[in-house]
Structure 1
Amino acid sequence: MTALRFILIGLGARSRIWRRVLKEHPDCSLVGLVETDRDRLAGVLAETAGAVGGISLDEVAAEVEADVALLCTPPGGRQSQVAAACAAGLGILAEKPLADTLTDAESYVIAAKEAGVPIAVGLNFRYLAVTQALKSLFSPDRLGPPEFGRFTYERWRDGRLPNLNKYPMSMKQPMLWEQSIHHFDLMRFVYGVEPVCISARTFNPSWSMYDGDANVGALITFTGGLEVTYQGTWAGNWQKMGFEWRTECQRGVALQQEMFGALSYAIRDDPELTPVPLPESEPWVDDARALLADFVSHFRKGIPLPCPGTDHLNSLRMVEACIRSSNGEGTVSLCEQ
């Protein structure tokens, strides 16, 4: 059987991880590279035996037989890439977010459906060991259903570092589109609920290096009455990361104190927290491996498409609701309870 053939579009920071996990997967082959920076393209082509390179997906797709377009480009301006993938009959796996407007993301999902190609989004945090373990704590025989929570993410993200993408520096809402989208998706995935309404405020402190708002505060109501208080920032003015996700359930609490681990729980009368054992993992890489494995299995075994674009739209609607609320609309309704 021929390996699943990928064309990688965009050779920035995230592409390094995808090139690594594609090379490791026994049923994947990287056959094409697309990059507008010709020097960067030449450098990666020299490291990728047998791959065809070009400055557009149209150009490369015409030269090589492929199955999947893997979009590692900035979320803004993907119209031509999605159109080219659909025209060539390529499945689409896109780095999150799918677009930097809800309207564009919806149009991409529609285009893929009309072309008969799958479209998935790289929400790799769903595949973290800590995420899977946290989700399991909410079973009826453990902590029971969650009823309210608090999610805090405080980070000094130095956008000048060479290993980070630079385009968020000029985005209008960098925290929401690039980071909070992960957090909103995790809430929906872990809790198994959908957002009902959101009240939010975004702003930028005086020391922020970002053009757009790097701070987000939100009150989120989900189906079933679950309430979450959210605070996220890329301009936390200390280099040490601050992360805490606490969830209050019928029988006790779940507490995640690091982005990639430090999970524990307690029943109401417990004197101490009980740590949850987690397997050793390489953040960013092992979760990408797991997502890729499910994506390949969709093609090979017919399992449900992981992180489909249709599902991703519900997280993007949360982002848009935060923007609308902060712009003066007050509490924004998303769906009926």
Structure 2
Amino acid sequence: MKEHKVVVAGCGGMSNEWLDYAAKRDNVEIVGLVDIFEESAQSMAKKRGLDVPTFTDLSVAIEETGANLVFDVTIPSSHKQIVTTALKAGCNVFGEKPMAESMKDAREIIKLTEQTGKRYSVMQNRRYLKQIRALHDVLKTGAIGTIGSIHANFFLGPHFGGFREEMDNVLILDMAIHTFDQARFITGADPVSVYCHEYNPPGSWYKGNASAICIFEMNDGSVFSYNGSWCAQGLGTSWESEWRVTGSEGSAKWDGFHTPIVEVVDEEQSSSFIHAFKALDVPERWEGQSGHFGCLDEMFDALEHGRRAETDCTDNIKSIAMVLGAVESARTHKKVFL
């Protein structure tokens, strides 16, 4: 018998990565598919060649299949209901971001994991790239000294169509959580406060604000600035953003595509108006899988070894706080303490 018997919730809009991953893992068995529209679950079963029952009710699916793990790939507004139903039924949960739509809901979910002893881990696939791991590792060594600031620029112009173009805070709610979570991962620091200015520039095809500037104060005394737009035509950045980290002894840059670069003060050279610097090698030692597969590897390894995953809900709530705090700041035009 497979160790992990999985029910997938939300087949209608799920990405292929979740089922592709499950198919390649020896100790995982998909035992049921759930969707509010059962024909979507049936269509997915047929498409993937899965001989499994389909359901419209998660509780019934768990009971009838004996599942012990739920993949939550539903829309964000359904996450709390799916996660709490699964936890109460004795299942662990791996889910797509965001973990919740409010801090109240996020805290209630964490409380329920504590009460049930079950795990809820959230997909933050953009942590799982060899370049961002290399940047994290070199900063952790103290190579550039004490970090004073971290800056992310994100400028792309995707024409999604559909619900995103009707959202009120589309950039912050739908995309910026990736960048905010990356900032926490890169530096190891957590947010204390945020001031956010949202706007919708000329030529935007979005109904709501598709651009934003955010300033976060972090708990190590550093500052994280975010400057982003989802309606920037031309000269696009990487989807991973482009990064600069400044420290007391040097700086690091990552364009989101290539190996990060680092320059530090060259102590062997005499002092001058602008000091001499030297480049450091930034080794890419991480050998894990990229993206969704890397995050799922971490989730399963944590579950099987009885530890919290890197993106466990107790950690991910800090990234959600950045998102919801930024939205609140933009609404009130005030600094928000997190």
Secondary structure at the aligned position of 1:292 is classed as helix
Q: Find out whether 1:318 has 2:314 as its counterpart.
A: no
1:8 is aligned to 8
CA distance in 1, matches of 2:28, 2:310: 17
2:212 is aligned to 216
2:114 is aligned to 113
Quick one: which of 291, 314, 320 aligns to 1:287?
291
1:237 is aligned to 233
**Cα separation, partners in 2 of 1:333 and 1:170, compared to 1, 3 Å:** same
1:263 is aligned to 260
Structure 1 length normalisation: TM-score? 0.87
**Cα separation, partners in 2 of 1:307 and 1:319, compared to 1, 3 Å:** same
Contact 1:156 1:239 in 2 (8 A): no
Unpaired runs of 5+ residues, structure 1, are 161-165
Secondary structure at the aligned position of 1:291 is classed as helix
**Cα separation, partners in 2 of 1:309 and 1:50, compared to 1, 3 Å:** same
Greater CA drift, 270-279 or 5-14? 270-279
**Cα separation, partners in 2 of 1:3 and 1:168, compared to 1, 3 Å:** farther
CA distance in 2, matches of 1:121, 1:179: 15
CA distance in 1, matches of 2:9, 2:118: 17
**Cα separation, partners in 2 of 1:224 and 1:73, compared to 1, 3 Å:** same
Q: CA deviation at 1:270?
A: 6.0
CA distance in 1, matches of 2:78, 2:141: 44
Q: Matched residues, percent identical?
A: 22
Letter in 1 for 2:42: A
Q: CA deviation at 1:329?
A: 4.4
**Cα separation, partners in 2 of 1:224 and 1:305, compared to 1, 3 Å:** closer
Unpaired runs of 5+ residues, structure 2, are 266-274
Q: CA deviation at 1:273?
A: 5.5
Q: CA deviation at 1:277?
A: 5.2
Secondary structure at the aligned position of 2:50 is classed as coil
Secondary structure at the aligned position of 2:207 is classed as coil
1:226 is aligned to 222
Greater CA drift, 20-29 or 202-211? 202-211
Q: CA deviation at 1:239?
A: 7.2
1:169 is aligned to 165
Q: Note the alpha carbon deviations across 1:83-102, whole angstroms, 9 max, x for none.
A: 32123211111111112222
Quick one: which of 178, 186, 193 aligns to 1:182?
178
**Cα separation, partners in 2 of 1:170 and 1:108, compared to 1, 3 Å:** farther
CA distance in 1, matches of 2:9, 2:207: 26
CA distance in 2, matches of 1:174, 1:314: 20
CA distance in 1, matches of 2:68, 2:276: 53
Contact 2:38 2:54 in 1 (8 A): no
CA distance in 2, matches of 1:196, 1:279: 31
Greater CA drift, 129-138 or 109-118? 109-118
Q: Find out whether 1:204 has 2:200 as its counterpart.
A: yes
CA distance in 2, matches of 1:228, 1:295: 27
Contact 2:130 2:290 in 1 (8 A): no
Greater CA drift, 65-74 or 168-177? 168-177
Q: CA deviation at 1:61?
A: 1.5
**Cα separation, partners in 2 of 1:237 and 1:173, compared to 1, 3 Å:** same
Letter in 2 for 1:33: L
Point out the structure with max Rg over C-alpha: 2
CA distance in 1, matches of 2:234, 2:13: 24
Q: Note the alpha carbon deviations across 1:213-265, whole angstroms, 9 max, x for none.
A: 2211011111222012211221112373353200011221110112x534211
CA distance in 2, matches of 1:251, 1:218: 25
CA distance in 2, matches of 1:197, 1:290: 30
Q: CA deviation at 1:114?
A: 2.5
2:269 is aligned to none
Q: Between Structure 1 and Structure 2, how many residues are aligned?
A: 326
Structure 2 length normalisation: TM-score? 0.87
Q: CA deviation at 1:13?
A: 5.2
Letter in 2 for 1:41: A
Contact 1:264 1:276 in 2 (8 A): yes
CA distance in 2, matches of 1:80, 1:332: 28
**Cα separation, partners in 2 of 1:137 and 1:278, compared to 1, 3 Å:** closer
1:296 is aligned to 300
CA distance in 2, matches of 1:274, 1:6: 45
CA distance in 1, matches of 2:264, 2:14: 40
Letter in 1 for 2:2: T
Contact 1:202 1:217 in 2 (8 A): yes
Contact 2:150 2:183 in 1 (8 A): no
1:30 is aligned to 30
